Structure 1
Amino acid sequence: MPYHKNKQQAFQAAQQGTEEARDVYNNIVQNRADYGSELKHLSNEINEAYEQINNALEVASENQKPKLEQFQQDLHTIVNEINNTP
């Protein structure tokens, strides 16, 4: 996704990226045969969301920064949950 200088567009891209990562995470079923490919898809979504958040933080207003930081925490929680799954 191209980098957006516009604060609102950058924020919306970060928000959407985080939501997409959450959706992929919530749809993963560990016992399915394609779990590995779903996990790779989730990893890609998380990496893209982190990139979008970092881009948005560069131009974010003071009001947007706490929400962007929450998006980062949400992604971190997903990563921890996946890493702690047996």
Structure 2
Amino acid sequence: MPYHKNKQQAFQAAQQGMKQLDDVYSQLVRDSADYGQQLKHLKNEVNETYQQIENAMEVASETQRQQLEKFRSDIEQIVNDVNND
């Protein structure tokens, strides 16, 4: 079932992207000398993860779709938090 495999792989890529994004976000140090570089890295992770979510949404099951929507919401919270600093 290649379709099912692609669906699962797309979802797992989005899941992994969220984990990496969470890792980068949790290591963000606002008073650090390289804060700008950290923000740039975070922005890249946000963009990459958002694209992975969009790709996964195209083939996601209903259960996966709900989780992907949560990922989108989590990304929005991260972006809002960083923008409000």
Q: Which runs of 5+ in 1 are unaligned?
A: none
TM-score, length of structure 1 as denominator length: 0.91
**What are the ranges of 5 or more consecutive residues in structure 2 without an aligned counterpart?**
none
Give 1:23's aligned residue.
23
Structure 1 residue 14 and structure 2 residue 24: aligned? no
**Alignment partners' CA distance in 1, 2:49 and 2:17:** 4
The one-letter code sitting in structure 2 at the alignment partner of 1:14 is: A
Letter in 2 for 1:7: K
Deviation at residue 31 of structure 1 after TM alignment: 1.0
State how far apart, in whole Å, the 2-side matches of 1:28 and 1:68 are.
24
Higher helix share: 2
Give the number of aligned pairs. 81
Cα distance in structure 1, aligned partners of 2:38 and 2:56 = 27
Amino acid at match of 1:58: E
2:68 corresponds in structure 1 to 68
Larger RCO, structures 1/2 (Cα 8 Å, 6+ apart)? 1
| Residues 29-82 of structure 1: per-residue CA shift (max 9 Å, x gap) | 011111000000000000000000000000001111000000000000000000
Moved over 3 A (4+): none
What is the CA–CA distance in structure 2 between the aligned matches of 1:37 and 1:63, rounded to whole Å? 36
- CA distance in structure 2 between the aligned counterparts of 1:25 and 1:62, rounded to whole angstroms: 28
TM-score by length of 2: 0.92
- The residue that corresponds to 1:42 in the other structure is 42
